[in-house]
Structure 1
Amino acid sequence: MAISGDDWRRLPDPDPPDSPSSETSPPWGGEPLDDIRPPLNADGLATPQDAARLRHELAAWLALDVPDEPLEDLVLATYEAIANAAEHAYVDHSDAAGPIHLHARRTSDCVIITVTDEGEWRIPTGQGFRSRGLALMHLLVPDVHIGPTHTGTAVHLRMCIPTNGLA
């Protein structure tokens, strides 16, 4: 789903996550998963260089069996999550960039991606010219869950994409 022109201005404001708790997991978090290939585990720092590297690693990993359009949507939504972590999670850390973790799994019918940071949980405000990354994630990926963890923030993305019998 490509967004062009002024479409970004009409993106819906995302609903805030349920009340913060010490550990938030997505509604599908308890479902058993049978990975059809090894997951992607990649770590980086909250820097533009590492954000770009993580985006490229995810795109290469997805390209193994995900068609172009959902691949592009997943990569863009994930990059928004990484960029949000890089820009917002470590605002109070002037000494060094904090860590960002990317974990992706492929089942026979879904791709599940989690981006976590170890920064400070910030409740989304959805105000102003900016703050469109969360709305964009919700527009691109059907299942988005964002919430605090005991160490920072987690963004969980899930898109159902059957492998068409490749498993």
Structure 2
Amino acid sequence: MKPPSDQDERPGHPPRLPLSGAAAGSPSTAPPLRMALPADWVAPSIARDRFDHWLRDLAWPVAQREDLVLALSEAVSNSVEHGYGVPSGSAAHDSGVVEVRAELVAGPDQALRVVLTVRDAGGWREPAGSAHRGHGLRMIRAGGDEVVIDGTDGGTTIRLTSRPAPRGRRG
């Protein structure tokens, strides 16, 4: 795997979609976004940047785009901190990989949605609420219509389905 500094806007970054094809609203014109990021504290930033570019190329509604990018950032941060136990502010080390996938899907109502999946192979533990911590899952849930969390000792998968963006009403 390339070091995080080589994973930003350099070769390997998904190609930008032509806005004309994306604006037409055909999910087949939007290839899925896939990332495999090192479980360190630069991963949320890389994920936010790539995902935001992908959504912009789709002309996704601004308010929804911001909510989705924030939800992704929280999910990746949770994988790094809680799944892999990387201490805040620590230097990069080989602790694991956070997988991210985003795809555009059309529902039976023809409205388009983004399905965002974040997966790690770290350990799962039930969230412990506190006055100063434990708000990440609420932020993730606020980012879309549906969130499914599958947490086991072998890892965690978070799947978020966005609110619909009707064809012709994006941008």
TM-score by length of 1: 0.71
Q: Number of aligned pairs?
A: 133
Secondary structure of the structure 2 residue equivalent to 1:63: helix
One-letter amino acid matched to 1:119:
G
Residue 147 (structure 2) pairs with residue 154 (structure 1): no
One-letter amino acid matched to 1:113:
L
Secondary structure of the structure 1 residue equivalent to 2:130: coil
Shift of residue 62, structure 1, vs aligned partner: 0.8
Partner of 1:62: 55
Change beyond 3 A, Cα 1:127–1:158: same
In the alignment, is the contact (CA less than 8 A) between 1:37 and 1:106 conserved in 2? yes
Shift of residue 35, structure 1, vs aligned partner: 4.5
CA distance in structure 1 between the partners assigned to 2:46 and 2:33 by the alignment: 13
Shift of residue 126, structure 1, vs aligned partner: 2.6
Change beyond 3 A, Cα 1:90–1:105: same
Decide which of 121, 127, 130 is 1:127's aligned counterpart: 130
Q: Which deviates the most, 114-123 or 157-166? A: 157-166
Structure 2, unaligned stretches of length 5 or more? 1-26, 107-111
Change beyond 3 A, Cα 1:127–1:96: same
Shift of residue 164, structure 1, vs aligned partner: 2.3
Residue 43 (structure 2) pairs with residue 50 (structure 1): yes
How well do the aligned residues superpose, as a CA RMSD in angstroms?
2.5
Shift of residue 150, structure 1, vs aligned partner: 7.5
**Higher relative contact order, chain-length normalized (CA < 8 Å, sep 6+):** 1
Shift of residue 154, structure 1, vs aligned partner: 0.5
Percent identity, aligned pairs only, is: 32
Structure 1, unaligned stretches of length 5 or more? 1-33
Matches for 1:1-167 after TM superposition, within 5 Å = 35-65=28-58, 66-91=60-85, 96-108=94-106, 109-148=112-151, 151-159=154-162, 160-164=164-168
TM-score by length of 2: 0.69
